[in-house]
Amino acid sequence: MSQKISKPVTDEESRPFWEGLNNKELLIQQCGSCGENIFYPRSICPYCFSEEIQWRKVTGNGKIYSYTVVHQAFGPYKEEVPFVVGIVELDEGVRMMTRIIGDREQIEVDKEVTVLFEQIDDDFTLPYFQLV
Ligand SMILES: [Zn+2]
């Protein structure tokens, strides 16, 4: 890889998420007031506007909601094409955009996937998903 992937900006809302990934844990938020699961991280519940947001560890199991095959990319991803980017719906109901790893012939909507932790460098890990 000739260029490094730029790291995400970590703020108060998202820090536990990124720290969790470095510890090989996938964390999402849950509202302590209405019980809804929340992703991406934020400080106020988007369902009931409560500030009682808690973090919870999830299994990282889910299914493919949507995906696309990337044939052209720029920067650090240029040499990795073709690759699959998709939206995974976790068992907890939240959806996250991610890289999907595996045999492209096998990748389909609704197929089960599980998280894998792709360590990019010493303090930066991304959640990718692979077919179960
Ligand atoms: Zn709520």
Please say if the pLDDT value at position 16 is more than 90. Answer: yes
pLDDT band at 109 (very low <50, low <70, confident <90, very high): very high
pLDDT band at 14 (very low <50, low <70, confident <90, very high): very high
Ligand 1 (single-atom ion) residues, CB below 5 Å = 31, 33-34, 45, 47-48, 50
The closest alpha carbon to 25, from 64, 55, 54, belongs to 55
Using the CB atoms, write b or e for 21-58: b if 16+ within 10 Å.
Answer: beeebbbbbbbeeeebbbbebeeebeeeeeeebeeeeb
Distance 45 CA to ligand 1 centre (A): 5
pLDDT at 2: 46
Distance 47 CA to ligand 1 centre (A): 5
Calculated CA dihedral for residues 39, 43, 47, 52, nearest 10 degrees: 110
Integer Cα distance of 16 and 18 in angstroms: 6
* Mean per-residue pLDDT over the chain, rounded: 94
Integer Cα distance of 79 and 32 in angstroms: 44
What is residue 118's three-state secondary structure?
strand
Q: Is this prediction's pTM over 0.85?
A: yes
> Is the Cα dihedral 78, 84, 90, 93 positive or negative?
positive
Using one digit for the tens of pLDDT, what is the confidence trace for 35-69? 999 999 999 999 999 999 999 999 999 999 999 99
Integer Cα distance of 60 and 9 in angstroms: 23
Q: What percent of the chain has pLDDT above 70?
A: 98
pLDDT at 3: 59
